[in-house]
Amino acid sequence: MLKLNISPEKILPLLKNTLLPALLFGAAVIGFYAANPLAENGLLTLHSLFYVLCFTSFLILLYFDTRKPAFFILTTLLGYILINYIKKNSGESFQTSAEYLHLCFFVPINLIVFYFLPEGKLLQKDNVWLLLSVFAQFTIAEKLSHAGIAPSLNLAETSFSGLNTLSLILFALMIIAFFVRSSLSGSIGETALLFAGFEIFLGFYYAFLPSAITIFFSAAMLTILIAIITDIYHTTYTDVLTGLSSRKAFVINAPKFPLKYSVGIVCIDDYDKLGQVFGRSGQNALTKMIANRITETEFENQVYRYTSDEFVIIFKKEDKNEGFDRLEKIRRAIASAEFMLGRRKKPLKLTVSCAVSEKKRSDANTFEVLVRAHKALQKTYKFTQNVTSKA
């Protein structure tokens, strides 16, 4: 009997999600040390690039109506604008000005808050309060600065740095929090924000150098923009839980299917009951294991996670008899497997029910073929489970 175990989540982020942000971070560091000080034209180009990247990122998030990381970008943008404004008005003494001390205090705190901000839609009333809270903080900071009150703590001389001890501690806590979260999730979005946060920190750390702010803040925004594009593409075409192609990917790819094909459905038996017994996390873990078993058995054709408990397989250039044989192989492989969940010593036995239908000349599109397969599956469920049927 084959035993399937849940592998614990890796501590470090997935290499493929870490590689690109790490390369951009490395390029920014090398560029800073190699090109410092940048020529005025170079600074102006990067300065303009930063605003273009911010604007582009906001447009993409607005188009897809997603909140994360919109407020992270907003905090970065405000930090960049204000740090340049303070340097211009305070001159070489900007590091000891109350305005700058407040900026170094509020930026890392806000970045932490918005890093852990849950996913959600951007165009919602609740986000207006978040926006107002950001501006309220900076307004309060301005009032306190005029009164000569500033958060500052110096345990040692830090004249070589653009940050005092308190700000260094806050940025250090920020990076540690980002690292832990990104290591556990492994997503490219949160991994990119980790590197972006480190780049923002370096921008503040070397704030006394004009090129540092422009280079590191521009690198941070480029990292975030690439992560946004990659993450949106990934979530559009890929199911987050299983890593299989998503329902949206099925809809997009449907017109590209060949003239001859069959559509197979694999449905997890008693899916709702699994959720009641093992909870949401256990249900997700078992779903992921079943998905892995399906792809191990059927590695030639595309597998989609169509709904929470259903997987759809396109058997290209095969009729329903050939598709039936492939589905039977999947069904038997899952029925004969033993699934180990968490700390349970006793393995679980799970089953799936399958149905297949082939494309007919009279079918207008793929969804008519899919509907026939669904009807065949529903008829099967009226009598039994753990079987494969033809439409």
d(CA 123, CA 172): 32
List residues bridging with 266 in a β-sheet: 311, 354
Question: Who contacts 333 (Cβ-Cβ below 8 Å, separation ≥6)?
Answer: 2, 293, 296, 297
CATH of the structural domain 247-390, one choice from 1.10.287.1080, 3.30.70.270, 3.30.9.10, 3.30.300.30:
3.30.70.270
Domain(s) of CATH 3.30.70.270: residues in the chain: 247-390
Angstrom CA distances, 40 to 44, 82, 89, 208, stand at 6, 20, 19, 16
Alpha carbons within 13 A on the beta-carbon side of 231: 24
Angstrom CA distances, 72 to 128, 342, 366, stand at 15, 35, 41
d(CA 290, CA 268): 8
Asked if 143 contacts 208 with a C-beta cutoff of 8 angstroms, the reply is no
DSSP 168-236: HHHHHHHHHHHHHHHHHH--HHHHHHHHHHHHHHHHHHTTTSHHHHHHHHHHHHHHHHHHHHHHHHHHH
- For residue 115, give the nearest of 157, 171, 165, 155 by alpha carbon: 171
Question: Who contacts 390 (Cβ-Cβ below 8 Å, separation ≥6)?
Answer: 320, 321, 324, 355, 356, 357, 376
* Residue pLDDT tens, the chain, 391 long: 444 444 444 434 456 678 888 899 999 999 888 887 888 888 899 999 999 999 999 999 999 888 889 999 999 999 999 999 998 888 878 888 889 999 999 999 999 999 998 888 888 888 899 899 888 988 888 888 888 887 776 655 544 567 888 889 999 999 999 999 988 777 788 889 999 999 999 999 998 888 899 999 999 999 999 889 888 888 788 888 888 889 989 988 888 888 899 999 999 999 999 989 889 889 999 999 999 999 999 888 889 999 999 999 999 999 999 999 999 999 999 999 988 887 777 888 999 999 999 998 888 888 999 999 999 999 888 888 899 998 8
d(CA 362, CA 114): 52
